[in-house]
Structure 1
Amino acid sequence: MSARITASVYTSHVPAIGVAVDLDKTREPYWQPLFAGYETSRAWIAEHTPDAIVLVYNDHATRFGLDLIPTFAIGTAARFPVADEGWGPRPVPDVIGHPELAAHITQSVIQQDFDLTIVNDLPVDHGLTVPLSLMFGQPDAWPCPVVPVAVNVVQYPAPSGRRCLELGKAIRRALDTFDGDLDVQIWGTGGMSHQLQGPRAGLINSEFDHAFLDRLIADPEGLAGMPHIEYVREAGSEGIELVMWLIARGAMGDLAGGATPSTVHRFYHVPASNTAVGHLVLQENQRESA
């Protein structure tokens, strides 16, 4: 038996969402429509809780700073503490790692010519914990281990969409050779359109966001060719985070000759703080008969 990707989850990781959860504001009129949009996914994942999650996110100058910025990094520790982002750590459980799976992915992906930075000391910030809160609520412990994959989308140059899609394919190939029976989900986080500074601060481009979701589902190979300048022009300076969704999409079976995944749930909401929130769950189908 080997590990297998059974689903991919895509979601924004807006820090204010974590604050709303932590301060019990999720039922307030401003926040209730957003959290209602995740109810379908939370019910689904309760029935499809994986053995492990490969969670693609970006560090927000918590573990990495201008002195050290890996393009791709993987957390290989047994435990990842919740980072203090300036106002104390979020009151959520530490994240438990899966060192065996992380080491296997690292070995395989590096041998496929991707340079992963190996990180054994990795405090995780809202980029990783907010998606867990959106999908799992406020448990005493997260229901499965997580392998963090951090991507530089903060300091130019960020990796191309094509490189990210190909990394997802490499991660899938790594799981195909893992010696163990594991149900694995891969999550891509960040985005959607938003800009936090400058004359265009507060930019939200819903037309672009919906088109991105359409192409992520139906044309990921074509979407991977979108140049950086188009992300910045259409989705704002922080819209480049969306390339991380292509890593998760690249790991799905249809790009390895399998069946087209099913769309379990799709959701979009504006605003959450000054950001557009997108969410998508794709589930693997059995390989189609010849």
Structure 2
Amino acid sequence: MSHSPLLGLNPISSELEKDLQGAIARVREQVARFDPELVVLIGPDHYNGFFNELMPPFCIGSQATSVGDYLTPPGSLNVDEYAAVALADQLMDDDFDIALSRRMQVDHGFVQALQFIWGGLETPPVIPIFLNAVAQPGIARLRRCRQLGEAIGRFLDKEPRRTLLIGSGGLSHEPPVPTLAHPDPAIRERITVKREPTQAERDAKTQRVMAAGMALASGTSDMKPLNPEWDARWMDALEFGELDSLVQWREESIAQEAGLSAHESKTWLVARAALPIDHRLPCTLRYYQAIPELIAGYGVLFMHTADTPT
């Protein structure tokens, strides 16, 4: 499921708003029908919880707190600490070195999906898994994301609870997230050293991103445009279980074709790789809209294993 911090902030047409909210409502309905007892949530960060002073490719949180950026609620996530540590333990046994945060901070990249599905942070137990999608060279490669998903799947094979996996991020987009190549040393410092921003700084960031979205929609921006063709290829590969070919894509092509932040789409790959790929899975919801006002190639894929009730 994609996310966008601009949902509810930048205006979009009433027809598109109705269409988008209808898709989100269908997600809620399908999740409610499935009634998960555990949620494995893979999401990115936008320099709110993880910074360049220490940037792991992946990190499991045994506790997690929402910073409450944009319109998402602040507060503690309902993390299953025991399951999170058990997953980290098994990954280490499987020779998959994984970081573990005992006090993870997460932003809208995690929280928006929970907010849209459950209305807030009162959710079933969650295992939050961070995926670095902004800071090179530590952005995990496609093959490694698939391997992590497969390892999570082996862990869940022994989990008796009904489990919902959520990959939150993507698809094509390149918002104004700074990198260490930025010429301003103050900005490079801001994305390197972890500190709590002031409310004024948060407000200024929100206004800057809102303006970037409206500029993209009006055609007055020099940001990379959305790429619906790339988004369709990505969604096809996941829906049809074509992971062998997907992991052969050139890493450089992701940013070149879909934008620097399209690496967030790898959260989908991790979630999909945790499910069987030896046969095609039922896909009960596929939705997509390119929405420049939200700086989002916004997509949803809802899939389930064959023995899952619908």
- TM-score, structure 1 normalization: 0.83
Equivalent position SS for 2:263: helix
C-alpha contact (below 8 Å) 2:68/2:74 kept by paired residues? no
220, 234, 250: which one aligns with 1:212? 234
Equivalent position SS for 1:264: strand
Please say if 1:253 is aligned against 2:235: no
Counterpart of 2:126 in structure 1 is 146
For residues 112 and 84 of structure 1, the distance between their equivalents in structure 2, rounded to whole angstroms, comes to 35
Return the offset for 1:224: 1.6
Structure 1 residues 106 and 42: alpha-carbon distance in aligned structure 2, compared to 1, 3 A threshold? same
Counterpart of 1:57 in structure 2 is 43
Counterpart of 1:38 in structure 2 is 24
For residues 165 and 109 of structure 1, the distance between their equivalents in structure 2, rounded to whole angstroms, comes to 14
Output the amino acid matched with 2:254. Answer: Y
Counterpart of 2:289 in structure 1 is 269
Alpha-carbon displacement from aligned partner over 1:91-122 (angstroms, at most 9, x marks no partner): 36631001121111111111111111110101
Return the offset for 1:240: 1.5
Counterpart of 1:187 in structure 2 is 166
Counterpart of 1:174 in structure 2 is 155
For residues 27 and 275 of structure 1, the distance between their equivalents in structure 2, rounded to whole angstroms, comes to 15
Alpha-carbon displacement from aligned partner over 1:169-190 (angstroms, at most 9, x marks no partner): 0011122244xx2111111111
Please say if 1:14 is aligned against 2:4: yes
C-alpha contact (below 8 Å) 1:49/1:143 kept by paired residues? no
Return the offset for 1:31: 2.8
Alpha-carbon displacement from aligned partner over 1:222-248 (angstroms, at most 9, x marks no partner): 112212111111111111211221101
Return the offset for 1:250: 0.6
103, 111, 116: which one aligns with 2:85? 103
CA RMSD between the two structures = 2.4
Alpha-carbon displacement from aligned partner over 1:149-173 (angstroms, at most 9, x marks no partner): 0011110121111110110000111
Return the offset for 1:26: 9.8
Please say if 1:67 is aligned against 2:48: no
Equivalent position SS for 1:68: coil
Return the offset for 1:68: 1.0
For residues 250 and 272 of structure 2, the distance between their equivalents in structure 1, rounded to whole angstroms, comes to 17
Counterpart of 1:3 in structure 2 is none
Return the offset for 1:133: 2.2
- List gaps (5 residues or longer) in structure 1: 1-10
Output the amino acid matched with 1:83. Answer: V
Counterpart of 1:224 in structure 2 is 247
Whose strand fraction is larger, Structure 1's or Structure 2's? Answer: 1
281, 285, 290: which one aligns with 2:306? 285
Return the offset for 1:128: 0.5
Aligned length: 262
Q: Which 4+ residue blocks in structure 1 deviate beyond 4 angstroms?
A: 25-30, 197-200
Equivalent position SS for 2:45: coil
For residues 48 and 101 of structure 1, the distance between their equivalents in structure 2, rounded to whole angstroms, comes to 20
Counterpart of 2:256 in structure 1 is 233
For residues 53 and 143 of structure 2, the distance between their equivalents in structure 1, rounded to whole angstroms, comes to 26
C-alpha contact (below 8 Å) 1:76/1:118 kept by paired residues? yes
C-alpha contact (below 8 Å) 1:93/1:142 kept by paired residues? no
Please say if 1:161 is aligned against 2:147: no
Counterpart of 1:83 in structure 2 is 67
C-alpha contact (below 8 Å) 2:67/2:74 kept by paired residues? no
Structure 1 residues 230 and 125: alpha-carbon distance in aligned structure 2, compared to 1, 3 A threshold? same
Return the offset for 1:90: 3.0
Counterpart of 1:7 in structure 2 is none
Counterpart of 2:105 in structure 1 is 123
Equivalent position SS for 1:159: coil
Percent identical among aligned pairs is 26
Equivalent position SS for 1:281: strand
